[in-house]
């Protein structure tokens, strides 16, 4: 008998706002978090829009000395963790800290620190490189700093699996609790990639939307007029607990995580395959003991790129057959943009909130559906439905895939 794992806390920092209330309210109302970039002058770039977090102040979560020494991706991770722990009503005391672990993932890590220090060295020489450059840049430091700041002495790790990173973090964390190596895991992802070099890099791949005159309409998964994804930033963290541990402290339980699937396309560095996502979803269902007909909602990877949206639609049909036309799926990236390594964390958060609140988020900007994308994508308006089970999909460059299965907790 594997130990049961439940979600007791959610911490969201997204382009819709800092905190669960702003992010969830924005998602349910179908508000776009995409706008012209404000953090630097983007006029020389092909893409001049992004999902920026504009209301986050790190001083609300860290002291000034810590802020000066840390990259924004670390600051987002610490902030989202504090929000999640507060939401869970959990204090990490000395007696439980050895059994509290941390996996906070990132696809890129401290890109801001990397860019600034490379420029500094080029312009002023190697003596000007900061001693905090490496500790601010390496991807595992978000998880490390969360562990340090909150005294979590259990397992401490980081997956760097591109856009699947934080979904892998949550799935791996659930397995750690299942096998008894921790009672609590702080799990999710963080990313702070809104920088000229990142925009230029994805532009070179022709992956980003260039709908600069209509930022709010640029992220449009499954729509025939989509022209690429919109980059976002922020963090999403879940507090996972062993069921009896959570019940003993009378925690509010959002949902239970019941299944986790992983697979590799073994196909191409950036283009998706069909069989990888199919096997990934099947493995999550098998791990959860579910049949396809049991699933009531899918939070799609739904990037708003021509290849991904068609491929994911075909993969869902490959798993769910005729039920694919009955199960609603939506892409919250239509509102937040694509948070890269943090995407799976915030989307898992939205999925458990959907189960808990009985509301399925919409896919906004779905005005002219692609004929090859012919499923129920919950277009433009949230839908009030009490669902019992849900999947959250995350697929990354390098052909790495993750699917998480959740169910509504009923005591």
User: Are 361 and 27 a contacting pair, CB within 8 Å?
Assistant: yes
According to DSSP, the β-strands at 297-299 and 17-18 are unpaired
Burial class (CB in 10 A: 0-12, 13-18, 19+), 33: buried
Helices (H) and strands (E) in the chain, counts: 13, 15
pLDDT (0 to 100) of residue 163: 97
Dihedral of CA 72/12/345/249: which sign? positive
pLDDT (0 to 100) of residue 133: 95
Query: 58 - beta bridge partners?
Result: none
Q: What is the 3-state secondary structure (H, E, C) of 180-216?
A: CCCCEEEEEEEECCCCHHHHHHHHHCCCECCCCCCHH
Q: Residue 295 has which token pair? A: 């699933």
Q: Is 163 a catalytic residue?
A: yes
Centre a 10 Å sphere on the Cβ of residue 127 and count the other Cβ atoms it contains: 7
Among 147, 144, 151, which residue's Cα sits nearest to residue 95? 151
Say how far apart CA 212 and CA 350 lie, in whole Å.
Answer: 27
Instruction: Name the CATH superfamily, with its identifier, for domain 1-399.
Output: Thiolase/Chalcone synthase (3.40.47.10)
* Active-site hit among 28, 145, 168, 301: 301
Measured at the CA of 36, the angle between CA 35 and CA 42, to 5 degrees, comes to 150
* Active-site hit among 28, 145, 280, 338: 338
Dihedral of CA 395/396/399/401: which sign? negative
Where residue 173 falls (left for φ over 0; alpha for ψ -120 to 50; beta otherwise) is alpha
pLDDT (0 to 100) of residue 2: 86
Q: Map out the domains of the chain as residue ranges.
A: 1-399
Q: Is 151 a catalytic residue?
A: no
Measured at the CA of 382, the angle between CA 352 and CA 52, to 5 degrees, comes to 75
Say how far apart CA 30 and CA 28 lie, in whole Å.
Answer: 5
165-178 vs 343-357: helix crossing angle, rounded to 10? 60
Burial class (CB in 10 A: 0-12, 13-18, 19+), 390: buried
pLDDT tens per residue, range 393-406: 999 999 999 999 99
User: Are 366 and 219 a contacting pair, CB within 8 Å?
Assistant: no
Q: Is 301 a catalytic residue?
A: yes
pTM recorded for the entire structure:
0.97
Please tell me the chain's helix, strand, coil percentages from 3-state DSSP, rounded to the nearest 5: 40, 20, 40
Measured at the CA of 104, the angle between CA 98 and CA 108, to 5 degrees, comes to 150
- Which segments of the chain have a pLDDT < 70? none
pLDDT (0 to 100) of residue 411: 76
* Active-site hit among 163, 168, 280, 373: 163
Residue 16 DSSP code: T
Centre a 10 Å sphere on the Cβ of residue 383 and count the other Cβ atoms it contains: 18
Among 344, 42, 48, which residue's Cα sits nearest to residue 218? 48
């Amino acid at each position: 008998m594997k130990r049961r794992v439940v979600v007791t806390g959610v911490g969201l920092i997204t382009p819709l706002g800092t905190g669960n209330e702003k992010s969830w309210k924005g998602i349910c109302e179908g508000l776009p978090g995409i706008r012209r970039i404000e953090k630097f002058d983007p006029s020389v770039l092909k893409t001049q829009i992004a999902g920026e977090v504009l209301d986050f102040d790190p001083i609300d979560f860290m002291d000034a000395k810590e802020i000066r020494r840390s990259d924004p991706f670390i600051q987002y991770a610490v902030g989202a963790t504090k929000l999640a722990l507060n939401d869970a009503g959990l204090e990490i005391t000395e007696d439980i800290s050895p059994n509290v672990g941390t996996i906070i993932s990132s696809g890129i890590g401290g890109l801001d620190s990397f860019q600034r220090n490379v420029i500094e060295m080029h312009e002023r020489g190697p003596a000007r490189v900061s001693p905090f450059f490496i500790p601010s840049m390496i991807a595992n430091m978000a998880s490390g700093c969360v562990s340090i700041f909150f005294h979590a002495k259990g397992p401490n790790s980081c997956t760097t699996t591109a856009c699947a990173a934080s979904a892998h973090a949550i799935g791996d964390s659930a397995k750690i609790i299942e096998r008894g190596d921790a009672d609590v895991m702080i799990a999710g992802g963080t990313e702070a990639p809104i920088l000229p070099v990142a925009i230029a890099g994805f532009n070179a791949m022709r992956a980003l939307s260039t709908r600069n005159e209509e930022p709010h309409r640029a992220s449009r998964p499954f729509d025939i007029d989509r022209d690429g994804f919109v980059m976002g930033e922020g963090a999403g963290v879940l507090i996972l607990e062993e069921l009896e541990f959570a019940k003993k402290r009378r925690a509010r339980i959002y949902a239970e995580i019941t299944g986790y699937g992983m697979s590799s396309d073994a196909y191409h560095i950036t283009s998706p395959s069909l069989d990888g996502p199919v096997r990934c979803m099947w493995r999550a269902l098998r791990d959860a003991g579910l049949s396809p007909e049991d699933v009531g909602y899918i939070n799609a990877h739904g990037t708003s790129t021509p290849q991904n949206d068609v491929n994911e639609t075909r993969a869902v049909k490959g798993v769910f057959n005729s039920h694919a036309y009955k199960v609603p799926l939506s892409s919250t990236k239509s509102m937040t943009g694509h948070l890269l390594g943090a995407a799976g964390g915030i989307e898992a958060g939205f999925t458990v909130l959907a189960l808990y609140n009985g509301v399925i988020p919409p896919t906004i900007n779905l005005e002219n559906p692609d004929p090859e994308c012919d499923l129920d994508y919950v277009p433009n308006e949230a839908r009030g439905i009490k669902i019992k089970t849900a999947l959250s999909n995350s697929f990354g460059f390098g052909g790495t895939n993750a699917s998480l299965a959740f169910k509504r907790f009923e005591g």
